[in-house]
Amino acid sequence: MKAKTMRILFLTPQLPYPPHKGTTMRNYYLIAHLAARHEIDLLTVVESEDELRRSTPLTTLCRRIEGVAVPKRSLSRRAADTLFSPWPDMGLRLWSPAFATRLDAWRTDGDYDVVQVEGIELARYVLQDASSKRRHAKRARSEQYVFDDHNCEYLLQQRTFETDLHALGARRWIGAAYSFAQWRKLCTFEASICRAADHILAVSGADAAALQRLVPGLGVTVVPNGIDVESYATFIPDPSRVGHLALTGEGTTGLVFTGTMDFRPNVDAALWFAQEVLPLIRQEEPGVRFVVVGQKPHRRLDTLRGRDDVTLTGAVDDTRPFIAKAVVYIVPLRIGGGTRFKILEAAAMSKAMVSTSLGCEGFAVKHGQELLIADSPREFADAVIALLRDPARRAELGASARALARACDWKNIIPKVEERYVKREA
């Protein structure tokens, strides 16, 4: 069924351009593909007005764009909120009277069919509107709120708490206490959002099931993360872009991991691999190097600086040159939720991968078919070593991974979103 043209208002927690990490990638490509058939407005949160001046592709895709400055919260305010507020930190982080005012004004004159809320940080605006008398008046125009839950956040915090609880060190116990408090608050908050929105999108069947445990009988549409396969599959690396890295084997970097490196699951993954897995690999393959690619490396990663077998790149303009130069792409995640764009990026570039079970959660993959799955340090090390020594096996896994990426091309995913809009309209 061909979707009718609709007027859609996107609310995003940051400007979705450039699409350089999970949140911005999902938001940008949803907007880009939906804009081909629908009218899109974008109300977003920005650090500065300069961001909007740099958003040339979005200005072409969207009928109008406005950015509201990110609200400021002091450390003392955050600490007090953690202890005393019923709201989770993610419900407070981007709460802004200015944003609420602009949203109300846009909804009054926008005549929207859909208001799509991207991620939990902006979901409190749904709760506010659900309790407003104006909400019921809007029903006559069939306006619907769609909540796109990029991660099942209560589950992510639960897993973070459980990981920190079993770690050594006072700092990890502090982190465990914080995650426990956020987990319990998020259970209530996320359930309230799911009840208030007209429909829920989740990125995986696992996340959908977790949300349904919070709200039995909840209707959830799985809209997985996607990728523009062609832009990765046809990429030709420029050797000068990564020439500063020490290379190994076949003129390539050894083991590559990409992600936003102040995100706790990515920090934990990099540390676990570097401290517990990499030494086992280097006992048998001493020339191997671990390259961590991503912006804003957290101070916990400072322990890796100075090691001759680890490189932290910091922010890069494009992750593709680094993925292209990987012998093996690794996904050593032990905490988190949702589905990972990093899997799709490596798959689109036909890379052999080793992942934990959690790292590839939400994808229809099998151990030994699209990638290798290993959860203990010894198993992970053995899987990497086996691939380093077997180019034919790497090529075989890479080809199967490319097929996975093709199935997740955005052009195959967008119709699922449009189908949900049409069903609600009907």
Please report, for the domain that includes residue 92, its CATH number. Answer: 3.40.50.2000
Tell whether pTM > 0.85: no
Regions in the chain scoring below 70 on pLDDT: 1-3, 55, 129-142, 167-173, 237-253, 337-339, 422-426
Same domain for 281 and 385: yes
What local confidence, expressed as pLDDT, does residue 3 receive? 56
Rounded distance, CA 11 to CA 15, Å?
10
Q: Which two tokens stand for residue 228?
A: 């523009």
Same domain for 112 and 15: yes
- Angle, vertex CA 128, rays to CA 338 and CA 204, nearest 5: 15
Inside any domain, residue 1: no
Domain that holds residue 27: 7-226+410-425
Same domain for 236 and 375: yes
Chain segment 155-206, per-residue pLDDT in tens:
888 888 887 777 655 556 677 888 888 999 999 999 999 999 999 999 988 8
Q: Which two tokens stand for residue 316?
A: 């890069």
What local confidence, expressed as pLDDT, does residue 160 receive? 82
Same domain for 308 and 218: no
Look at residues 206, 240, 210 and name the one whose alpha carbon lies nearest to residue 317. 240
What local confidence, expressed as pLDDT, does residue 172 receive? 64
Residue 36, classed as helix, strand or coil, is coil
By the 8 A CB rule, do 9 and 16 touch?
no
- Provide the b/e sequence for 118-142 (b: ≥16 CB within 10 Å): bbbbbbbbbbebbeeeebeebeeee
Inside any domain, residue 99: yes
Rounded distance, CA 390 to CA 398, Å?
12
Same domain for 14 and 139: yes
What local confidence, expressed as pLDDT, does residue 171 receive? 59
Same domain for 109 and 94: yes
pLDDT averaged over every residue in the chain:
87
Same domain for 380 and 314: yes
Same domain for 294 and 158: no
What local confidence, expressed as pLDDT, does residue 49 receive? 78
Same domain for 157 and 68: yes
Q: Is the peptide bond before 18 cis (omega within 30 degrees of 0)?
A: yes
Residue 334 to residues 99, 181, 267, 277, 324, Cα–Cα distance (Å): 35, 20, 10, 13, 24
Rounded distance, CA 17 to CA 71, Å?
20
Inside any domain, residue 167: yes
What local confidence, expressed as pLDDT, does residue 251 receive? 46
What local confidence, expressed as pLDDT, does residue 128 receive? 78
